[in-house]
Amino acid sequence: MPFPTATPPPIVQQAFAQQFRRLVDAHIPTVLLVGNHDQHSQGAGGASLCIYRTLGVPGFVVGDRLQTHRLQTRSGAIQIMTLPWLTRSTLLTRPETEGLSLLEVNQLLIDRLRIAMEGEIRRLDPHCPTVLLAHLMTDNARLGAERFLAVGKGFTVPLSLLARPCFDYVALGHVHRHQVLSEQPYVVYPGSIERVDFSEESEDKGFVLVEVQQGKTRMEFCPLPVRKFCTIRVDLSKAHDPQAVLLNAIASENIQDAVVRLIYQFAQNKLTRSITQPFSRF
């Protein structure tokens, strides 16, 4: 999921295409998975990624449906099963969902997904390493900013549907917080590579390096030096010179190149104010 919206501006598309060309020139097979940001609000999948399928570059796959792709790497063949972001909207307009609660619609989606995955799993080559690449919310994931960004738009998938012995690794997208949900097999959210708001202030960001082999997959989380989010809290209830106290509090923090949130309060009138400044200079 490379783009933040289904219709990214040309400058963003160009920047991504430059990196895409590096992968092609290096003969590195690549899979792009359609996520919630890549879809129109109506749920039409893959709007921002369609052009990369149209290009028809060998070894380059756009995953906008439940499908298994067999890729040839320098170390041998690998199977990648893609499961893009799914929404309730495809079911809510159908007659069979009339009168059902959202909980019942969710269960109907899960039941249909389970049947579809079973069919796809039966077609897997049991002698070839297999990775499930999915953009979804699991039932035991620890959430961050995405709790508010996608509320009411998706549904929750049980971990038991993903942690299957037929998969040598399960790579998940959507949740920003890096977390390992299972080790047999590995079911992993690598997390986002950048902080998006203060709910992620204390989270490490990075990527996951995985060596996939049947029965003995290894993984390593590799941190990245991302921009710092810093919260400064100041109690001015007893300050004779509030401005001086604020300036001293700011000066005592290392805010170079950080996104800073200043929260100060006056206890006597219970007034609390918050200022967020995306620069290091005030």
Look at residue 83 and tell me if it is in a domain: yes
Query: What pLDDT does residue 206 have?
Result: 95
Per-residue pLDDT at 57 = 75
- 99, 164: one domain: yes
Question: Domain count of the chain?
Answer: 2
pTM of the full predicted structure?
A: 0.82
What is the rounded CA–CA span in Å between residue 167 and residue 217?
Answer: 10
Are both 259 and 194 inside the same structural domain? no
CATH number, residue 188: 3.60.21.10
Res 70: pLDDT: 94
Residues 6+ apart with CB under 8 A from 165: 185
**Structural domain range at position 104:** 65-223
Same-domain status, 69 and 191: yes
Same structural domain, 78 and 200: yes
- Residue 247 falls inside a structural domain: yes
Alpha-carbon span 194 to 177, nearest angstrom: 10
Per-residue pLDDT at 139? 87
Pair 216, 245 in one domain: no
More confident residue, 35 or 153: 35
Q: Measure Cα distances from 178 to 18, 163, 183, 189, 192 in Å.
A: 27, 17, 14, 5, 7
- pLDDT above 90 for 5: no
Domain C-terminal end among 223, 241, 266: 223
Residues 84 and 216 in one domain: yes
Q: How many CB atoms lie within 10 A of CB 131?
A: 24
8 — pLDDT class (breaks 50, 70, 90)? confident
Q: For 251, which DSSP code?
A: H
Q: Are residues 156 and 184 both part of a single domain? A: yes
Instruction: Verify that 122 and 207 share a domain, yes or no.
Output: yes
pLDDT tens by residue, 140-193: 888 765 555 544 456 789 999 999 999 999 999 999 999 999 999 999 999 999
Are 108 and 217 in a shared domain?
Answer: yes
End of a domain among 223, 246, 266? 223
Asked, for residue 22, whether it belongs to a domain, the answer is no
Size of the chain, expressed as the number of residues it contains: 282
In a domain, 147, yes or no: yes
| DSSP β-ladder status, 218-223 and 206-211 | antiparallel
- Is 131 a domain residue? yes
- Tens of pLDDT, residue by residue over 190-245, are 999 999 889 899 999 999 999 999 988 999 999 999 999 999 999 998 888 999 99
Average the pLDDT over 120-136 and give the result.
96
Cis preceding linkage at 84, omega within 30: no
91 within some domain: yes
Token pair for residue 2? 């490379």
Q: What percentage of the chain exceeds 70 in pLDDT?
A: 81
**Together in a domain, 209 and 248:** no
Distance CA 66, CA 64 (A): 7
Give yes or no: residues 93 and 79 share one domain: yes
Which pLDDT score is estimated for 169? 97
Q: How confident is the model at residue 271 (pLDDT cuts 50, 70, 90)?
A: low
Whether residues 90 and 187 fall in one domain: yes
Provide mean pLDDT across the span 92-114.
78
Q: Where is the domain boundary, 223, 245, 269?
A: 223
Question: Residues 244, 212: contact at Cβ < 8 Å?
Answer: no
